[in-house]
């Protein structure tokens, strides 16, 4: 296997990994998708801060967010697992780390150290987990998960809150996927803090609770995280419709002109 996280609890599910944003870039530069071609486009020129590994994307709670154009890679049909590292600076205003219109969104309430995750079934019925505690001023491993009949949240390697049943469908829509913002109708919630290392697992499923818990624990990895990288250390050149992509041993993807 050329790519992976170095832990079979995650690598056994790489066939469902459809995107990965390491959040190393800054300002007006796109946050590169190291797996596919779904680069995240910044609004408001978000900066960087110290993350769990190198840089994290820094969101000001007002003008900063990232937009990934609608694509099958980020439009799950039956379920998803969306790990990320979150650091919340304050409880000012409602804040959202991620959203895809009427497919799903996550948010924190104003004045509260909490987190909710809502998934919409194919008929538009919303299924919500939360509130669960998300402490401000702490870098947390968070996994938003909907699979195998339940919506779940993992924080720092363990499932938290009470899982909520859903019918293994997720409402499809042609809207963009946002990181650092909720962009649906009504109020707009922006993230105030850092977001780092965001892989996207589409239509993932697990054999049982133990396998699912191992997946959640592996990303936490005792607080030091697991990161997508080349295995073994080598560079691979890939041809795509938009040009050549060079994956380097550090996991950084570079576009090469033809």
Residue 254 has pLDDT above 60, yes or no: no
Distance CA 175, CA 186 (A): 16
Give residue 257's pLDDT band: very low, low, confident or very high (50, 70, 90).
Answer: very low
Alpha helices by DSSP H, listed for 42-132, are none
Q: Which domains does the chain have, with CATH numbers?
A: 10-226 (2.60.120.200)
Q: What is the largest CA-CA distance in the chain?
A: 51
Distance CA 92, CA 85 (A): 20
Q: What is the pLDDT of residues 16-47, one digit of tens each?
A: 999 999 999 999 999 999 999 999 999 999 99
Q: Calculate the average pLDDT of the chain.
A: 90
pLDDT at 258: 46
For residue 128, count CB atoms less than 10 angstroms from its CB and return exposed for 0-12, middle for 13-18, buried for 19 or more.
Answer: middle
Q: What is the pLDDT of residues 149-195, one digit of tens each?
A: 999 999 999 999 999 999 999 998 889 999 999 875 556 899 999 99
Give residue 235's pLDDT band: very low, low, confident or very high (50, 70, 90).
Answer: low
Q: What is the pLDDT of residues 69-107, one digit of tens each?
A: 999 999 999 999 999 999 999 999 999 999 998 899 999
pLDDT at 173: 85
67 versus 255: which is more confidently predicted?
67
Residue 239 has pLDDT above 90, yes or no: no
CB contact at 8 A, 64 and 43 = yes
Q: What is the pLDDT of residues 194-217, one digit of tens each?
A: 999 999 999 999 999 999 999 999
Residue 1 has pLDDT above 50, yes or no: no
For the residues of 216-234, what is the DSSP string, one character each? HHHHHGGGT----EESSS-
Q: Residue 214: what are its φ and ψ, rounded to 5°?
A: -65, -40
Q: What is the pLDDT of residues 93-145, one digit of tens each?
A: 999 999 998 899 999 999 999 999 999 999 999 999 999 999 999 999 999 99
Residue 233 has pLDDT above 70, yes or no: no
Give the contacts of 173 (CB within 8 A, at least 6 positions apart).
70, 75, 100, 101, 102, 103
Residue 255 has pLDDT above 70, yes or no: no
pTM above 0.85, yes or no: yes
């Amino acid at each position: 296997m050329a790519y992976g996280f170095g832990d079979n609890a995650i690598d056994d599910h790489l066939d469902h990994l459809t995107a990965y944003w390491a959040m190393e870039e800054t300002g007006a530069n796109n946050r590169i998708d190291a797996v596919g071609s779904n680069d995240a486009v910044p609004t408001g020129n978000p900066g960087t801060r110290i993350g769990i590994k190198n840089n994290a994307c820094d969101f000001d709670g007002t003008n900063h967010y990232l937009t990934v154009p609608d694509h099958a890679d980020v439009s799950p049909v039956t379920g998803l697992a969306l790990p990320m590292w979150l650091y919340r600076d304050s409880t000012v205003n409602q804040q959202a780390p991620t959203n895809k219109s009427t497919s799903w969104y996550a948010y924190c309430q104003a004045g509260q150290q909490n987190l909710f995750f809502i998934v919409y079934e194919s008929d538009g019925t919303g299924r919500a987990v939360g509130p669960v505690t998300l402490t401000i001023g702490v870098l947390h491993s968070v996994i938003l998960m909907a699979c195998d009949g339940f919506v779940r949240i993992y924080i720092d390697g363990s499932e938290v809150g009470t899982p909520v049943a859903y019918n293994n469908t997720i409402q499809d829509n042609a809207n963009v996927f946002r990181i650092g913002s909720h962009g649906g109708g009504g109020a707009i919630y922006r993230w105030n803090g850092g977001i780092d290392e965001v892989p996207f697992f589409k239509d993932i499923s697990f054999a049982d609770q133990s396998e699912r818990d191992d997946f959640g624990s592996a990303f936490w990895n005792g607080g030091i995280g697991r990161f997508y990288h080349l295995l073994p250390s080598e560079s691979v050149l890939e041809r795509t419709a938009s040009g050549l992509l060079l994956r380097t041993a550090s996991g950084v993807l570079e576009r090469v002109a033809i």
